[in-house]
Amino acid sequence: MRVTKKIKEQQLNILGELYKDTKPALKFKNPFELLIAVILSAQCTDQRVNITTARLFKKAPDAQSIVDMGIGALEQEIKDCGLFRNKAKNIMATCKTLVEQYDGEVPSDYDTLLELPGVGRKTANVVTSIAFNRPAIAVDTHVFRVANRLKLAVGDTPLKVEEGLMKAIPKDNWSAAHHWLIWHGRRLCKARKPLCGECPLNELCPSRES
């Protein structure tokens, strides 16, 4: 099945209608909380991250208080998120950078975000999009999988998929489409057993299973 520009537009229209009322699954009150939550979300469910951050931010609601907490206490607070030692190292280094260079505030500039320890393209895009309301497409495992299966964007790296999605999706919809693809991956286009028979995109999907 050849996926034309018209088919991609149809795919996006259906996704937009299906998931128009969805919101980010991570809970946060400000850019700092979102940044820390996204760092914690690597190889961890959003539900688990929300439990951890609810506990963490009661004790340490800002960069300075996390620095004051110390690495050992931080590790204990985020231990149930997995990869906690590496995450604690990056969070502590990022918080020190925020305190020393940005008065404890999260910078809104994308390239500056990328310079923070533990912040890659996905994290920077999420923060740019959600916290600062700027068009961006973050490619996590769900977005990567769904984009490739639909051939909305094809690539063997997150960067290639991100670049493909930026071409396929109107810029005004970048941030929204990011959420559409995530929720579609969670609800229907699952990694091990996609629910093709229940999927409204079935007839437009080159990867559909009979």
Distance CA 178, CA 194 (A): 19
Alpha carbon of residue 55 to chain centroid:
21
The torsion angle over the Cα atoms of residues 95, 84, 117 and 124, rounded to 10 degrees, is -90
Name the catalytic one among 6, 58, 111, 140.
Answer: 140
Q: How many CA atoms does the CB half-sphere of 167 hold within 13 Å? A: 14
Active site residue 140: yes
Q: How far apart are alpha carbons 22 and 66 in whole angstroms?
A: 31
**Residue 180 burial (CB count, 10 A):** 23
Contacts of 101 (CB under 8 A, 6+ apart): none
Residue whose entry in the numeric block shows the structure tokens 């699954």: 25
Distance CA 121, CA 6 (A): 29
Catalytic, 193? Answer: no
Annotated catalytic residue, options 122, 160, 167, 171: 122
How many angstroms separate the CA atoms of 92 and 74, rounded? 8
Long-range pairs of 190-198 with CB within 8 A, sequence gap ≥ 24: 191/141, 191/145, 194/149
Residues marked as catalytic? 122, 140
